[in-house]
Each structure stands twice: as structure tokens, then as C-alpha cells.
Amino acid sequence: MAENSGGAHCLKYGFTTTHVLGMDVVLPSGELVIFGSAAPDAPGYDLTGVFVGSEGTLGVTTKIVLRIVKRPETVQVLLAAFESVVAAAQAVSDIIAAGMLPAALEMMDRLSARAAEAAVHPNYPVCEALLLVELDGPEAEVAAQMLAGAGTPWAAMQRALAVHNQQVALDPLWPETATVGGIVATNDSGSLRLRYGSLRDLIIGMTIVLADGTIAKSGGKVVKNVAGYDLHKLMTGAFGTLGAIAEVTFRLHPISQHAVSFTVSTSEVARLKPLMLAIGASHLLTEGLQLRGTSYGMHLDIQLSAHSDSEQAELLRHITEGESLELELNSNEIWQAREALLTQTDRLILKATMLPTEVPAFAQEVAEKGGEFVVESLGIMYAAFPTDELSFKLAEEFRHHVGLQGGTTVWLARPLSASYSEMWAFVAKGELPETHALMREIKRRFDPNRILNPGRFVGGI
């Protein structure tokens, strides 16, 4: 208190003097006096304000009354690395200009970062300047600030929207840790795609930082925007090879209030094919439809979104019984099956796309080859195989069959010897799409010096 101390959090919460309401002071004469009060706005001069920071030259403090603030609900610390101190300083100005008030905002040059690294080993990246940003407060407020200033965890964004009974109708992998930018860059989507469309369908605007530092905007804040090309669609799924995604504007949907999940199990996928077709042709309000299984059994998961009074569940049960199958109520956790498959270690894992009518046949093939699969009814499959040599050959055979039917396959976890080009090969013999030359030219125009994720995309783009 004598020095009116403060650290990085002074930006939002002020210095020591901000939190001192009153004190008991022994003056040089030996007299004990009381400055300030626990109640606000005590009459008279602000002797408390004068005394704080006087470094003991006016008296000795024996008692202090402090203002207490509530511990924030959420705290999120972000780190950004810059190629120059000037760039980092500009980022600080931009954050404040955007109306954000972080709890803490601290910049370090290279020398300071090296000193901190030697002292406490925070594992900072090597760069010319670092910026540490701490956001705190209600979860929705923190999420909203992060949308403007950094990569927001998907789940944090959804929680902020849920306050208003809204959502981005997408269920990507690892939502607690995956960021909005990362999900858009990889074009991830889950079972909700059946009802609400793909990620590209949900994005109506985007702010992009191009390779030369230009900030470009595409789309807008309305669902219907006819001005210019839909560059945000080009950026979606581009793995960051054309630009850095800074901000995304999504189309929102109300949160489903009556989602319920069911499962139909059988030993053969052929018995589920007629049911899948019947569900697709019905008037059921189906939010999700996925098929998962191994050689030990097949399971069709169905999620409905309808009020209990709408008799949707009864209609589904009637359709199921018409195919001589049994419908069982299940937990919504079954929609984490894709995530569970992809977290397996020591597995060959690939993503395959196919026509919806081909789903049962390819699901059966994966099971017969000793693999495990989760496939959305629209034709997006995730398959896992053992890592032995025979299983690898069987997986390559499966890829070849998918290619012959007009589908594509991409390795997600592949042999260590495989190159990125082989990872992105669409069929087993390594063919690339006919548009590959055009994609290379687009890459050249957007990123002529190849500084954005070079070699990480289709065919080594």
C-alpha cells in the first residue's frame, strides 16, 4: 500500500488505491486517526487517496479496510507471438480500440521473454515480442471477447449463445478445446449436418488476414448477401493455406429443447438399410442418423427433435417394427462415438466420403476387414483398422473400392512413412482431384511466397 503497488491486472481492476476504502494511521505526532470509511463517499478530503503511495512519509498504517471483489466465473489466458515489438504494440491498441477490457494485458520483448524462460520455464515461443492477454468475468462475456480477439473454444461460444437460447447448429470434435478458427479451417461437422447442413452452410461472413497482412472481409451479418464472391466458403476447409481466419459470422438456430436418442442394433448391416431408407422418406424430425459398428454388431443411432406430444417417437417405433427390428431409448452420449474412435492410439484411421446409398455396403466391408467405423447417413465415414501389415493392405483395398464408386478417402492416422501427399491421396493409387492444378493456382495467388501452412494440404499445396 505504501507504494501503491499493482501488477498486470491494474488494466481492469486499478491500482492499490482503487481498493483501499479506509485505514487507521499513526501520525508522526503519535496521534491515531481514521481516514476514509467502509461506507462509500465519506465526507471531507480524500486523505486515504493521498496516503496510499506516500511510502510511509506521512505516517504508519495499523489497519486497512479493503474493497472485496467477486472471484470471476471464468478466466482464460491467451498468448500471441509477433515478429516485431511494433506489431505487438499495435495489437494492444487494436484490442482497446475494439472496446475490449482484458483483466490483464502484458507485452514482453525478446530479451524479457528469454529472461522469463530461464527463470520459470514457461515454454514461450521464440519470437521478437509476446503478448499475454487474460480475459475474465462471466463465461458469456469472456467468450464474446474472445470472438473479437482470438481463437474461441467452440464450447465457450456455444455457452455464450445458449444464454439467448441460440446455437451454431454444428457438433464438431473436441468442442471444449477446438477453436472456432480451427474447426472452420478443417471444415469439421458431425451428425447435426443431416438437419442443418454443413459448416459452409452456416457461415455467412468472415474476416481473414491474408499472407501479405491485408485484412479482408467476406459476406456480412445477414443470411442473404449477394455482394461479391463467397470467399469464406473458399477459406472453410482450406487448412489455413490461404489466410488466417480472424472472425466468423454464423447463422444461428434455436436450441433444440426436446432432443431424444434411440438405437437399433442387429448383427448385419443389410437389415438396417431398409430402415435407413424408410426414416429418410418419412416426416420424422431427424436431427442425427449415424451407423456404427464392427464385425461383432451394427448399431443405427437416431436423434429426434420434437415435443413428446408430436408422437414422433411413436412414428419411429412403428417404422422400426415394420422392419422387424427393435427400437431402444439411448443416451445422447452415443453421438460421441466418432470422437471415441478418433482418440484410439495405434490404429490406422481414415475418413471416407461416399454416396448415401453406398453407406451400408462400405460399412459391411470395413467390418469384414476387421475394422471399426462410425458413418453419418449422408455418407461421411470414419474407419479404424489395426496397424499390422495385413490390415494396412485391407485398408488400402477398401480405399480403392471407395474410389471406384466415386468416393474419396483421406488418411487421418497413417503409417509414419507416408508423406502428406499420400495422406491426401483420394484413392489407394494416389490420384488427386482434377481440380488440383486450379487449387495450386489459387494457392499461388493468395500466398505467392508459400508462408501459410506450405505442403500441408491436398497434393502438397
For residues 112 and 29, state if they share a domain: no
Kindly state the helix (H) or strand (E) to which residue 25 belongs, with its residue range.
strand 20-26
pLDDT above 90 for 423: no
Query: CATH number for the domain including 314?
Result: 3.40.462.40
Cα gap 125→82, rounded to integer Å: 10
Q: Which of these three, 108, 130, 150, is where a domain ends?
A: 150
Residue-wise pLDDT tens digits, 322-368: 999 999 999 989 999 999 999 988 899 999 999 889 999 999 999 99
Choose between 385 and 411: higher pLDDT: 385
440 within a domain of the structure (yes/no): no
Better pLDDT: 232 or 302: 302
φ, ψ of residue 192 in degrees (nearest 5): -65, -15
Burial class from Cβ neighbours inside 10 Å (0-12, 13-18, 19+) for residue 48 reads buried
Mark whether 119 and 54 lie in a shared domain.
no
The domain in which residue 60 lies consists of 10-66
> What pLDDT is attached to residue 302?
96
Region of poorest pLDDT, from 99-108, 311-320, 383-392, 414-423: 414-423
- DSSP string over 188-256: ---TTHHHH--HHHHEEEEEEE-TTS-EEEEE-SSS---SS--HHHHHTTSTTSS-EEEEEEE--EEPP
Query: Can you give the CATH number for the domain in which 75 is found?
Result: 3.30.70.3450
Same domain flag for 137 and 266? no
pLDDT, one tens digit per residue, over 260-280 is 999 999 999 999 999 999 998
Using a 10 angstrom Cβ sphere, with 0-12 exposed, 13-18 middle and 19 or more buried, the burial of residue 206 is buried
Q: What is the rounded distance in angstroms from the CA atom of residue 34 to the CA atom of residue 61?
A: 10
pTM summary value: 0.66
288-301: string of b/e by CB count within 10 Å (b at 16+)?
A: bbbbbbeeeebbbb
- Residue 180 in any domain: the answer is no
Separation between Cα atoms, residue 443 and residue 240, nearest integer Å? 11
What is d(CA 377, CA 141) in angstroms, rounded to the nearest whole number?
A: 37
Q: What is the mean pLDDT of residues 3-25?
A: 80
Q: Has residue 121 got a pLDDT over 80?
A: yes
Domain assignment present for residue 107? The answer is yes
**How sure is the predictor about 77, in pLDDT bands with cuts at 50, 70 and 90?**
confident
Strand order in the sheet with 20-26: 32-36, 20-26, 60-66
Q: What is the pLDDT of residue 53?
A: 81
CB of 190 closer than 8 Å to CB of 172 = yes
Please tell me whether residues 330 and 350 are part of one structural domain: yes
Residue 326 lies in a domain: yes
Q: Which of 66, 81, 96 is the last residue of a domain?
A: 66
The reply to whether 319 and 366 lie within a common domain is yes
Report yes or no on 444 lying in a domain.
no
Mean pLDDT on 217-229 = 60
Has residue 358 been placed in a domain?
A: yes
Residue 80 in any domain: the answer is yes
Please indicate, yes or no, whether residues 272 and 137 belong to a single structural domain of this protein.
no
> Which residue among 110, 127, 150 closes a domain?
150
Same domain, 41 and 117: no
Residues 62, 82 share a domain? no
Q: What are phi and psi of 82, to 5 degrees?
A: -130, 155
Number of structural domains the chain divides into? 3
Question: Is 50 found in the same domain as 137?
Answer: no
Co-location of 22 and 87 in the same domain: no
Residue 223 has pLDDT above 60, yes or no: no
DSSP H stretches of helix in 332-461: 337-342, 359-368, 389-404, 420-424, 436-446
Report residue 31's pLDDT band, with 50, 70 and 90 as the boundaries: confident
Return the percentage of the chain with pLDDT > 90, whole number: 34
Q: What is the pLDDT of residue 150?
A: 36
- The answer to whether residue 48 sits within a structural domain is yes
What percent of the chain has pLDDT above 70?
86
Whether residues 59 and 119 fall in one domain: no
Identify the sign of the CA torsion 199, 201, 203, 209.
Answer: positive
**C-alpha radius of gyration, the chain, whole number:** 29
Are 57 and 108 found together in one domain?
no
> CA–CA separation, 124 vs 74, rounded Å?
23
CATH no. for residue 30? 3.30.465.10
Task: Read off the pLDDT band of 100 (50, 70, 90).
Answer: low
Beta strands in 295-425 (DSSP E): 297-305, 328-330, 348-353, 372-376, 380-385, 408-413
